[in-house]
Structure 1
């Protein structure tokens, strides 16, 4: 058995088995980036139960194949915001955050609320030309911070027993959900799901307000895209308009470019409620 383990340890690829029976094979350079897998492989000499008779490493039974596959995909991301912008909305972001933390590849360190506020609202510079102060919006910075903030919130690292902390978090969430020109629909969707989860545990009275805010923000966003569509379609040449099929194809392309320009990636929209939430 020891010889078999030695052969496995020197292999350039290793296969891991899920409790569902699914298998995944990873390169050594991928494994080295994940502390949990590195520890698992190095412990095979000490615990025979880690490897089965086929030489497959047994993963923790709580790890699911689909979520783990996304975690592996995230190793190639060049920015933390891609954790949200690349995850389809039908996937639950909360267990994925827990998995990333368990594997040891979650974003670090957790930002304080003061750091979040600084990135969101403190980039003020003086313009000699305008003789006035301007706020500089760096979209990659605020989008990355938004994801780090949401992940920290999902891990319940903030003190939700403190009223001032909850009020500050609520203010940030309001900003993120309403600023559809800064944050794409997929990113806002996952932030909303995390906020909904946390507030349902610690401050249920805020849930109704958040839902109404999402409804209004999404309604404004769709009107914004509709105006962009109308503007773009009015710019189509007469030759395009005379050809319905060509016109439709060009229209779809222009819409895609408009969404990509404003949101950074083509992402599915938040689901818009059919009825506006009531205040009571």
Structure 2
């Protein structure tokens, strides 16, 4: 009796379903949502946000309520409404946000390296560039999502209370959103690049904190020895705080426009290059 070859099912259409980048990002967001670490940081950021919104309301009372007339002169020295106030809407969450990026971003690539799952991903229709874009997108979108309420809610409160003459400029979101995007891209690329050099998530956290604090210390030492202020552009913490100041027009920002642009471009290009090299198929297994 002749033996016939088995009938194979039709090849699946790889164009159906969501792109691999979105699937990987959704998986990382789901894993973060189930972790208890998000509750602590969520509460901390919520308290900072409530303080910002309450400050807008107190400023409105001081300018409209007759009972607070004697306190207006004193309040002007505390509740400034210039460019420094607009940039300060994002600053209270700066160091805490860097710590969150280290805790979350340190394990993005290192966890896959530890459990050796990248070969399985690359065996499916997931290209190395899709994997890299998913990790960079998640690591950059996380700080942007956290900072977004700090730019929008105080602005809405100011509009509701005092219209276009409130303490928050009417054009503040247009200035703060680009600054947030650049700072978030800086945080995301550094976190993914550091995580790609680690073998475990805990080591990835150490890599992120080490690179951030090490670059900050190095920039401070060179600045102190040479007196060149442009060297501060190597400090990622200072760069993240300087971009809102630059976009709102602070008189004396931490870093000037050109050094900030060059320093940010250097960090993003360097750590993206490192992550791309460390997530190649040949590097998928230690």
User: Which protein has the bigger strand share?
Assistant: 1
The question of a shared fold, defined as TM-score above 0.5 by the shorter chain, is answered with no
Give me the TM-score of the superposition, normalised by structure 2. Answer: 0.28
Q: Which protein, 1 or 2, shows the higher relative CO under an 8 Å CA cutoff with sep ≥ 6?
A: 2
Per residue, is there more helix in 1 or in 2?
A: 2
